[in-house]
Amino acid sequence: MGIIKELVEYSKLVWDRRLTESTGGNMSVRANNNTIYITPTFTIKHFLEPTDIVMLSIDGEKLEGDKEPSSERKMHLLIYKERSDVNAIFHAHPPYATAFAVSGEKIPINVLPEAVLLLRNIAYLPYKMPGTQEFADTFSSELKKGKDVFILQNHGVTVVGKDLKEAYARLETLEFLSKVVLILKISENKVNEMNQNNIDEFLRQRNIT
């Protein structure tokens, strides 16, 4: 599968799995050091076609595509410039994770092994106007710390990965964890986190320290 088709398939999956709404969300993948592919603005992702995808230079110049690139392109470009290990980005509005973004409450990570593996590096960013350079710039310091998951106050979430598969896995795992935690809170049950010994052993088994 070509990289453009793969981007389209994962973008459709985000919408079909209800990880974003209406025309919300935007996704991209690094083509090479100088170019990226990104979803167009104001598009329902379920109906995306490969011909809808826009190619941008790493400096934001439109190189290919008939449609306008996502209004959040400044965020995508900054992330790729800051982190050479990032090759895919998903920005979306998953309802349960976005509930935490609105409330400002931190999401407990040490609840599920998969969450520990994929969501260890979460950053919580203050609200800035979406689509602006000011919004993009809020990512900079946390990216340099190696953060891979960003909870955006009163907005949504952004996740990054070494490829589309990893970025998507982070997004769906984040939403699943958020749903589990909120169900427990609503039902007034305790959120029991794993102890540190279990976490350390789990990470050791996967050669992660």
Q: Which of 49, 72, 134, 175 is catalytic?
A: 72
**Measured distance CA(58)–CA(62) in Å, rounded:** 10
Dihedral sign (CA 189, 195, 196, 201): negative
21 tagged catalytic? no
Using DSSP's 3-state secondary structure scheme, residue 167 falls into: helix
Instruction: Tell me, rounded to whole angstroms, the distance of Cα 62 from its chain centroid.
Output: 23
CA 156 to chain centre: 9
Tokens of 71: 């209004």
Where do we find the tokens 């935690």?
Answer: 181
Residues catalogued as catalytic: 72
